[in-house]
Amino acid sequence: MNSKEVAIIGGGVAGISAAVALTDIGFMVHIIERDVQLGGHATSFACKATDKCSKCLVCVADELVLKASQHPKIRVLTGSEVMSFSGKPGDFELRISQAGGEESLFKESVLKIGAIVIATGFMPFNAEEKKEYGYGKYKNVITASDFERAIRANGAISRPTDGSAPEKITFFQCVGSRDESIGKGYCSKVCCSYALKLSKLVKSEIPESDITIFYMDVQPTGKDFLKLRESCEEMGIKFVRNLPSKIYGYADSDFMRVNNLNNNTGEVVQDEFDLIVLSVGMSPQNDVKFLANTFKVDLDEHNFFKGLKQSTNLSNTPGIFLAGACQGPKDIEESMAHGRAAAAEVVKMLREQ
Amino acid sequence: MKREVSKIGIFIYDCESKLKNVLSISEVCSKLEGLGFVCFESPASHFNEAMSDFEKYLKDNEMLKVVIAGCDSRSKEQIFKNSLKKVGLSPYWVNFVNLNEAIGYKEKKKATEKAINLVTQAAKWIEMQEIIGTQKVLLNQKVLVLGGGIAGIETALTLTEGGLDVILIEETSHLGGGAVAVENLKGLVKSKIEALVNEKKVRVINSSHLVDLDGHVGRFTARVEGEQKLIFEVGAVVVATGNELILPIQELDESSGSLAIGQKDLENRLSLSKDVPQRVCFLIDLVDEDLKISTQVLLKQALAVKEKFGSDVICLCRDLKVSFDGGEKLYEKAQEAGVLFFKYTKKPKIAFSDEIVKTSLINEDYPHEKLVFESDLLVVNEKIMPGRGSNALAESLSVDLDSKGFFQSDNVKLLPTFSSRRGIFFVGGCRLPQNINETLSEARATAAEIFSFLSKEEIELDLTSAKIDSDKCILCLTCIRTCPHRAIVVDQEEETAKVIPLACQSCGICVSECPVVAIELPLYTNAQIIGQLNDVVGEAG
Amino acid sequence: MKRDFEPKITAFCCEHSGLPSADMAVESEFVYPEGVNIIKIPCSGKVEAIHIMRALEEGDGVAIFACHKEACQFLRGNLRTEAKVTYISKILREIGIEKERVQMYFLAPSNGVKFARTLRVFYKNLKDLGPNAGRKEL
């Protein structure tokens, strides 16, 4: 019986929140992380503060990751993946393989644990699937993830073609969300929030820049979202309700052309931009089917793990818990709460044992 | 300067010869030895090797205090602290130096000098570090939950699952809160209430409210009034008092009468199976347009009205806020059922006459034309307001409200459910209007957070909290006023301000504000900070 | 003479923002001027007027790196420091020292680039100002 040990699959914000909560309660936690380091997506994102904090929670995620990496009761197994599992709640055996350092040999080991928390997170939507936007073809078309990473790594808001400051910037919302034609008939919840915060950041760093956000509906998250939207409008950021259907590139130019329907006149308007940011949504991880099979856990129609009605932390298999965006799109705040809530569910189950 | 030579060790490790290439480690060492420290050059070439080497070093050498210098970020200090703890040394007697700082210097001589400077500064700091004492603290393992809505109930139930006792105070005469009236939540709420009343570890007190909270985390004293006056000792407090819905009358016409109702009224009608007229117009986002909960209710109700009564249903909104689980699907389902949706930017005009509501707006989508809808009933979303007693409650709890009057001050570090005071939490609609899944998740998350510090009856606390010198204190109350965590109280007997170690978060704000320099922060004393200001290389000659 | 002058800067770094950013800067080789003395503090609110004044006796400029507004780990530490810096600039003016020698900056913990850039600008400004008249003679 190893009910005082828990395995968490995925070392992103949700997994780490669960891990820290569990260790604080007295558990020993093993985090199985596929990547070479802890942190998941959130630690590649940029702080979006302008004159004050924008509540993007990236710094909160950073501190959380740091806390987990220093924690004596959290064992982080980086470069490791699940192979198979057996046993019953309170008494599981999890077989994992871990990349063995320089010789790149894989080392197999078995963890004896009482519960498993799946917290594998999400994948940013692969923007190449939306061929009409020319991601990968036009250099100045980037995804919001690319943009975040660039700002975090070198603080620069620049267009990829020549590294200079962009003049006309646009955000395309709902790329890989609310789009049944590509099997993404769900809202990713986070994109409006990050796009508005990023656009505000760009505008305050480059005041002369011209920014347009193309959208369907503005999806609010967190406290005081209206203030964020109004401050964007006050700064001169334009909101256009309609998603352009295509991006046209020019040879030897930093600019691209976008055709869009004007709702007032019904005419097609042409506009040019030198940086187009695709607000990509959250897609399920690519190995969810393998994990679903291994743990006999159901997926929903969009391939997120299916949480039970009474608690989205519970899967249909007792002893296997869900945390964070692997159960459905969530922002950092919600993922943290969901991770901690998963810890509470683990406590409950192991107490009932 | 007198130094206990053999007691402070300097442990230097390199990182793939990064250091060796730009500065002279041996020179750094000899200089420090000259100053009276014992220097050890680890053969380790990266962090993990250094870690194991360090543990060996600790065993082989009888060091009291250590400076560790390597090419890593200061966050690595905590990991070295863990090793010190393992061998039974005080984790506070270690100081980490990030030698990357010296590597940035262009000349070898200057880089070496900088390294000497950095290590010496760190050694000076740690030399002045005093012993961090410990204190045994008894914790009260009861939790006070304020509010008997779904947020409070779920928090209470989860707390009992972790073995804690709960006292739940509800202002009204019954449990369930706003969710009781929601058609598809009734069953869930009923079963939760049943579980709660049958749970021996929970004491539910209806028709009562908190009037005063004294004390601090682990040891609060709560005065509750209602049918009887009660006093409870608890270790933590959860605020789950929900919010209030107000029909946005000022946005409507006074002549609206019964033609315009709120979403909550409609919910009541639906659950009482009352008839709904033939033409129903839903108009949301007149207020609280940044809350998705109104769209969620809209979609559910529009679909119900359509399916049950076959009414003509028109929905008008600024944005269709489908950012909740299953939102987009619900929207599609409503559209398929024949519910019509139109979006607006400028607020629609509403006119009431002869039992008919006329709503006119400019359609956002093409064709951008004026539309006028006639209906027999207008359903609008209520404005969600902070609970009526929020101000008074915030005052008795000594916590702040946000700019809209909801609980939780505007600070990112408190998200999702923390307050400015240790041991007090905000869950659910009292901090942010939200849907059922989010509320349940927050409730459980908060319970887990409470387990983490209340699962033991007694804890041993490291006294890193601020210390007030009672001889110097003039009781001017500046510290009490400026402490963001309400961790300082007046000790009447001793006539001094006193820090509550468990509530203190060691920020040092009181130290910098105290006009008579009566407060010290043990890990960052004034002497330590001032000692860092002058150039030690000059001093060493 | 002025051209050879190398300003000495004391940088008070909050452990929740400035310090991790400093670490990130040196690790990613975002260059900032030599002669910067980094001092760790648990919150920018811990910096006292006396620390700033003493630092000016020993050097040419003081930079305080704090968390963004509404992101202070301790809620209002950064705001208190902001008020303190305003108050100190008044004192500095009275005693004839340029108030530009004391600056406060708001940062995220992952702002290594901004940390380095800020210090480069500060260094240049101090160089233009020349040696600090209030600095103790060596």
Q: Is the pLDDT of residue B197 over 60?
A: yes
Same domain flag for B470 and B454 = no
Determine, yes or no, domain membership for B530. no
Q: Give the pair of three-digit tokens for residue A141.
A: 């078309």
Straight-line distance from the first to the last Cα atom of chain C, in angstroms, rounded to the nearest whole number? 17
Tell me the pTM: 0.95
Determine, yes or no, domain membership for B135. no
pLDDT at position B423: 97
Average pLDDT over residues B430-436: 95
CA A82 – CA A97 distance, rounded (Å)? 7
DSSP string, B460-503: EEE--S-EE-TTT-----HHHHH-TT--EEEETTTTEEEE-TTT
Same domain flag for A155 and A252 = yes
Model ipTM? 0.95
pLDDT at position A263: 82
Determine, yes or no, domain membership for B84. yes
CA B104 – CA B96 distance, rounded (Å)? 18
Same domain flag for A290 and A340 = yes
Average pLDDT over residues B147-155: 97
Same domain flag for A277 and A130 = yes
Determine, yes or no, domain membership for B70. yes
Same domain flag for B314 and B423 = no
Average pLDDT over residues B496-501: 97
Straight-line distance from the first to the last Cα atom of chain A, in angstroms, rounded to the nearest whole number? 11
pLDDT at position B36: 85
Domain edge (last residue) among A265, A281, A297:
A281
Total domains in chain A come to 2
pLDDT per position as a tens digit, B444-475? 999 999 999 998 999 999 999 999 999 999 99
Total domains in chain B come to 4
Same domain flag for B373 and B254 = yes
Each residue's pLDDT, cut to its tens digit, for chain A (353 residues) gives: 457 999 999 999 999 999 999 999 999 999 999 999 999 999 999 999 999 999 999 999 999 999 999 999 999 999 999 999 999 999 999 999 998 766 567 889 999 999 999 999 999 999 999 999 999 999 999 999 999 999 999 888 999 999 999 999 999 999 999 999 999 999 999 999 999 999 999 999 999 999 999 999 999 999 989 999 999 999 999 999 999 999 999 988 999 999 988 888 888 899 999 999 999 999 999 999 999 999 999 999 999 999 999 899 999 999 999 999 999 999 999 999 999 999 999 999 988 77
Same domain flag for A53 and A96 = yes
pLDDT at position B105: 87
Q: What domains are defined for chain C?
A: 2-129 (3.40.50)
Reported as a pLDDT band with limits 50, 70 and 90, residue B224 is: very high
Chain A residues with CB-CB distance to B188 below 8 A: 310
Domain edge (last residue) among B342, B364, B382:
B382
CA A276 – CA A167 distance, rounded (Å)? 11
Chain C residues with CB-CB distance to A53 below 8 A: 67-71
Same domain flag for B257 and B293 = yes
Q: Give the pair of three-digit tokens for residue A282.
A: 């959250």
Would the CB atoms of C108 and A55 count as touching at under 8 Å? Answer: no
Chain A residues with CB-CB distance to B328 below 8 A: 178, 185-187
Same domain flag for B367 and B398 = no
Query: Other CB atoms closer than 10 Å to residue A222's CB: what's the count?
Result: 20
Using H for helix, E for strand and C for coil, what is the string for C79-124? HHHHHHHHHHHHHHHHHCCCHHHEEEEEECCCCHHHHHHHHHHHHH
Reported as a pLDDT band with limits 50, 70 and 90, residue C138 is: low
**Within an 8 Å CB–CB cutoff, is residue B61 touching chain C?**
no
Give the three-class secondary structure for B1: coil
DSSP string, B352-372: EETTEEEEEEE-SSSS--EEE
pLDDT at position C3: 58
Same domain flag for A215 and A265 = yes
Domain edge (last residue) among B411, B429, B458:
B458
Same domain flag for B348 and B427 = no
Distances (CA, A) of A5 to A110, A336, B161, B162, B174: 13, 21, 18, 16, 40
Determine, yes or no, domain membership for B137. no
**Within an 8 Å CB–CB cutoff, is residue A110 touching chain C?**
no
For chain B, the helix, strand and coil percentages under 3-state DSSP, each to the nearest 5: 35, 25, 40
Q: Is the CB of residue B222 less than 8 Å from the CB of residue B213?
A: yes
What is the enclosing helix (H) or strand (E) of A28?
strand A28-32
Domain edge (last residue) among B414, B432, B458:
B458
Q: How many CB pairs under 8 A join A and C?
A: 44
Chain C residues with CB-CB distance to A62 below 8 A: 20, 109-110
Chains that touch A (3 or more CB pairs under 8 A): B, C
Chain B residues with CB-CB distance to A323 below 8 A: none
CA A173 – CA A157 distance, rounded (Å)? 19
Query: Shortest CA distance to A303 belongs to which of A178, A189, A183?
Result: A183
Same domain flag for B257 and B303 = yes
**CATH number, position B286:** 3.50.50.60
Q: Give the pair of three-digit tokens for residue B127.
A: 């030399």
Mean pLDDT of all residues in chain B? 92
pLDDT at position A103: 59
Closest CB to B290 among A225, A313, A336: A225
Q: Is the pLDDT of residue B537 over 60?
A: no
The alpha-helical segments, DSSP class H, found in chain A are 13-25, 58-70, 144-154, 191-205, 225-234, 288-295, 332-352
Range ranked top by mean pLDDT from A168-172, A178-182, B180-184, B268-272: A168-172
Same domain flag for A230 and A88 = no
Q: Give the pair of three-digit tokens for residue B286.
A: 């007149």
CA C76 – CA C82 distance, rounded (Å)? 10
**CATH number, position A262:** 3.50.50.60
Query: Shortest CA distance to B212 belongs to which of B203, B204, B220, B202?
Result: B220
Q: Is the CB of residue B417 less than 8 Å from the CB of residue B425?
A: yes
Reported as a pLDDT band with limits 50, 70 and 90, residue B249 is: confident
Same domain flag for B265 and B374 = yes
The residue written with tokens 């004390």 in the block is B215
For residue B12, give every residue at least 6 positions away whose Cβ sits within 8 Å of its Cβ, in sequence order, or none. B19, B25, B28, B29, B39, B40, B41, B42, B68, B69, B70, B99, B119
Same domain flag for A235 and A309 = no
Same domain flag for B263 and B314 = yes
Q: Is the pLDDT of residue B539 over 70?
A: no
Same domain flag for A130 and A241 = yes
Same domain flag for A171 and A292 = no
pLDDT at position B60: 85
Domain edge (last residue) among A262, A281, A300:
A281
Same domain flag for A130 and A261 = yes
Same domain flag for B467 and B353 = no
pLDDT at position A1: 45
Same domain flag for B186 and B237 = yes
Instruction: Name residues 104-163 of chain A within 8 A of B (Cβ).
Output: none
Domain edge (last residue) among A240, A259, A281:
A281
Phi and psi torsions of B17, nearest 5° = 60, 15
* Containing structural domain, residue B9: 5-130
Percent of chain B with pLDDT over 70: 98
Q: Is the CB of residue A166 less than 8 Å from the CB of residue A158?
A: yes
Would the CB atoms of A57 and B415 count as touching at under 8 Å? Answer: yes
Closest CB to A337 among B158, B162, B442: B442
Average pLDDT over residues C71-97: 95
Examine residue B367 and say whether the peptide bond preceding it is cis (omega within 30 degrees of 0): yes
The alpha-helical segments, DSSP class H, found in B41-172 are 47-60, 77-86, 100-103, 108-127, 150-161
* Containing structural domain, residue A192: 126-281
More confident position, B87 or C46: C46
Reported as a pLDDT band with limits 50, 70 and 90, residue B538 is: very low
**CATH number, position B40:** 3.40.50.2300
pLDDT per position as a tens digit, B373-409? 999 999 999 999 999 999 999 999 999 999 999 999 9
Same domain flag for A272 and A310 = no
Determine, yes or no, domain membership for B532. no
Closest CB to B441 among A60, A224, A341: A341
Same domain flag for A251 and A141 = yes
Lowest mean pLDDT, pick from B174-183, B201-210, B321-330: B174-183
Would the CB atoms of B367 and A333 count as touching at under 8 Å? Answer: no
Q: Is the pLDDT of residue C40 over 60?
A: yes
DSSP string, B373-417: EEESEEEEPPEEEE-TTHHHHHHHHT--B-TTS-BS-S-GGGTTT
pLDDT at position B3: 47
Instruction: Name residues 120-159 of chain B within 8 A of C (Cβ).
Output: none
**Within an 8 Å CB–CB cutoff, is residue A238 touching chain B?**
no
Same domain flag for B39 and B13 = yes
Determine, yes or no, domain membership for B533. no
Determine, yes or no, domain membership for B537. no
Chain A residues with CB-CB distance to B75 below 8 A: 66, 69-70
pLDDT at position B290: 94
Q: Is the pLDDT of residue B476 over 70?
A: yes
